[in-house]
Amino acid sequence: MKIGSVALTGVRGLADRYVDWVSSATGRPHDLVVVAGPPASGKTRFLEALIAAFETVGGYMGIVRGSDWAASRAAARVELGLHLDPDERQAAPGAGHPARAVALWSQDGIAAEVDRGLSRVLERYSHDGAGGKREYFPENRKLAWGSRVDGLSALEQSILRPSKDPQKYSFVPRFLERLSEDPEGQQAFAGMLESLSPSVRYLPKGAPDARSAWFSSRGGDGSFLSELSSSEADAVLIASTVSLLGLNHSIVFLDRPELYVPSERLVPWVRALTTIGHDNQWIVATGSRRLVEAVETSQLVLLRPLTGGASVEVQS
């Protein structure tokens, strides 16, 4: 599944707009979309409006308050044009192509206009890697330290996917423990990690040079997870999530890739994101001009602040 188009009307903090992310060359939605603009231009708001729309029409957690999104007494509306994979079309034969799903928000509540089969497709969630999912890497993402360690089951993980819970990634240590007994999974994880970080490498637990640790940082003999740099930890967090969830045929939202990646490496780093997992669509919010200049106009949503707290499009 990929998003081919988005139409927003009356959403608080965002200007009314229509965007089309279908490539004229392939007829398919782009694998990478960049939402860009200066601080306070609505980049995160745009991502979270799409996430809330999915939660309204076919959610994992399903907790959306209409009053958070409706700008006035009139209803706010987000219409998603979705390009489904063949198995998704088979599961939702009445959804059309592209499939249409509309989230409606008001001060009084929420509603949806969506084919019932499509809604069931959007709600389904498993870690088998075959079905599409949605993931949100928020700006506050980080490895969690403390007493909470979440379970690895699909039931436990599904409700966290649209959230910004500061403990969202507390599953990582438990995932790495399980990975130590999965040689095939270790190889895939190591490849993802290498593509996302030049300085950290995965060392299977128990390797002679690993000090019973999991990683080599900057060529060292072995480092515990808590000893990694912020950029290395971010790479581990992303690779762990993609591995555990089986992120394939999925829509992935990521806010501020430049948090931990130097500007000269940002473009290849984001390109690397599109190679992990299979057939994913990454929607990335950024303030980086380099990233804006590296993609086609049809892959861009460019925002700027507007007096009154809304945003307007700079370029279409």
Residue 94 pLDDT more than 90? yes
Average pLDDT over residues 164-169: 90
pLDDT of residue 226 exceeding 80, the answer is yes
Nearest Cα residue to 287 out of 272, 271, 303, 274 = 303
Q: What pLDDT sits at residue 304?
A: 82
Please provide the DSSP assignment of 227-279 as one string.
Answer: GS-HHHHHHHHHHHHHHHHT-BS-EEEEE-GGGTS-HHHHHHHHHHHTTSSBS
Q: What is the pTM of this model?
A: 0.94
Q: What pLDDT, on a 0 to 100 scale, did the predictor assign at position 271?
A: 97
Instruction: With cut-offs at 50, 70 and 90, classify the pLDDT of residue 315.
Output: very low
* pLDDT the model gives residue 61: 85
Write the pLDDT tens digit of every residue in 29-81. 999 999 999 999 999 999 999 999 999 999 998 789 999 999 877 899 999 99
More confident of the two residues 60 and 309: 60
Q: For the chain, percent helix, then strand, then coil, each to nearest 5?
A: 30, 25, 45
> What pLDDT does residue 166 have?
86
Compute the mean pLDDT over every residue in the chain, rounded to the nearest whole number. 92
**Domains of the chain: residue spans and CATH:** 1-133+295-316 (3.40.50)
Most confident range (mean pLDDT) of 38-47, 204-213, 303-312 is: 38-47
Would you say residue 142 has pLDDT above 60?
A: yes
- Taking alpha carbons only, the member of 164, 195, 179, 197 closest to residue 244 is 179
pLDDT in tens, 251-279: 999 999 999 999 999 999 999 999 999 99
Confidence of residue 313 (pLDDT cuts 50, 70, 90): very low
